[in-house]
Structure 1
């Protein structure tokens, strides 16, 4: 049984912990340090894979993450949960994307990411994230477990939903769609964490701004929407704080008495 924290706070990244310049405000860094001093665990909850955010985790001194929209959970460096996509399903979606849709893919697990081919959609998406384009390996799923796939496209995902009912498709940016096992979500990852670590009675808080935060908001005790969040998410929030550019995280943590 792990030593129980006083509370756990989950932070989405883009539009939430990150400001518009894809950086973390000094007020947020100070707030995270105060949380830790108060035996409150800060956790990242993101569509990104842990290997993408190594530098951020080092900068914030956060060592726990709900990654890939809940498909992997690391708690203080320990791998608590993974939700791998069946290889046969990946073969099917790869063939369908290549032969029917002409949509390139990215393949993710908690330790690496690859793309199916070098393409303009890949360039556009990773430039949007301010990241280098990953290496090409269109058969990586035959060698390694895959927990999330990205459709690198600006439209077209609707056709996939009927063909692949065992998968969930969530548009996370204008240039990509996150794909993972049906029923997977940030909320599902949080549920697995709390169950596996014996933390089901620990108070939980979450900050978010987009629709991939929706299930997380339904799961935690105290959902907090950023001022820049989409209206549908604000409607599910207990509290709407200031924006990601205007100390929204620090202000809400102070309001809830966590720092």
Structure 2
């Protein structure tokens, strides 16, 4: 098999549960890039929380963040593409969440806004990403064009699930939604997801979709995994995702990314030591 690009989700995919890139994964990805293969990070994270992993890998490519809503050239931190939610939909979602007293996160200009920094969801997400939330009254924004909104409820309660359903029922195809975790519901502009934006980036680089392998572990990775020639679900993915893709590898804790790349794409003269 011949590939020209590797697209990687971060959390639950390239990263272990303690948010590390294993030495084997690091070594094989660096070796692939030296051979001229493009390595793309494609994540729901903000750019500032994804960039340290690009630094660690020494990448020379763009980073697709916010599930595709923002693309940044890693070499000079230049924003190449950004498509926020329409302001009227942001306002509707804020109102619906307030009516059900559910915590939501608003993202804009690499900043993460919450109304209460002390609640369980904000503390958990801060620990998960390393980001620091900014406390703000959601009625006080001058610009409601958010890059991304997430609705979060650690208990995965009936109220949380009913809010997610209400948003989908009312706004439908006017927005893009995905549950990346049982407790995390993501909302973006209808024109973006990981698959749409990765396809756009590959085309700009002259790379065919069938020359790309992509790895993911959650439903917000589905469009990306089904667009490319080699879509790979991690062993820790939900069954619904595994059933929709062509390949399944080992878990993120057991070097699933590196194992798949070595098995299918690496030359026998590789410098990788296993």
Q: Structure 1: how far apart are the matches of 2:200 and 2:80?
A: 8
1:245 aligned residue: 253
Q: Structure 2: how far apart are the matches of 1:176 and 1:119?
A: 18
Superposition RMSD in Å: 2.4
Q: Deviations over 1:3-59 (max 9, x none)?
A: xxx611011111110112221111111011101111011111111111222222211
User: Aligned with 2:134: secondary structure?
Assistant: coil
Q: Deviations over 1:129-148 (max 9, x none)?
A: 15354111235753474211
1:22 aligned residue: 19
Q: Structure 2: how far apart are the matches of 1:213 and 1:27?
A: 23
Which piece of structure 1 moves more, 112-121 or 214-223? 112-121
Matching residue within 45, 68, 79 for 1:70: 68
Please report how far the alpha carbon of residue 235 of structure 1 lies from its aligned counterpart in structure 2 after TM superposition. Answer: 2.2
Which piece of structure 1 moves more, 115-124 or 89-98? 115-124
Which piece of structure 1 moves more, 183-192 or 107-116? 107-116
Matches within 5 A, 1:79-228: 79-98=79-98, 100-109=99-108, 111-127=110-126, 129=128, 131-137=130-136, 138=138, 142-143=142-143, 145-153=145-153, 154=156, 155-156=160-161, 157-165=164-172, 166-200=174-208, 203-228=211-236
Whether the 8 Å contact between 2:8 and 2:41 is mirrored in structure 1 is yes
5+ residue gaps, structure 1: 1-5
Q: Structure 2: how far apart are the matches of 1:129 and 1:176?
A: 12
Whether the 8 Å contact between 2:114 and 2:122 is mirrored in structure 1 is no
Whether the 8 Å contact between 1:81 and 1:192 is mirrored in structure 2 is no
Whether the 8 Å contact between 1:209 and 1:228 is mirrored in structure 2 is yes
Q: Structure 1: how far apart are the matches of 2:134 and 2:143?
A: 15
What is the TM-score of this pair, normalised by structure 2? 0.82
Please report how far the alpha carbon of residue 126 of structure 1 lies from its aligned counterpart in structure 2 after TM superposition. Answer: 1.3
User: Aligned with 1:44: secondary structure?
Assistant: strand
The runs of at least 4 consecutive aligned structure 1 residues that moved more than 6 Å come to none
Q: Does 1:44 align with 2:41?
A: yes
Which piece of structure 1 moves more, 153-162 or 138-147? 138-147
Cα 1:196/1:41, change in 2 over 3 Å: closer
5+ residue gaps, structure 2: 268-274
Whether the 8 Å contact between 1:121 and 1:152 is mirrored in structure 2 is no
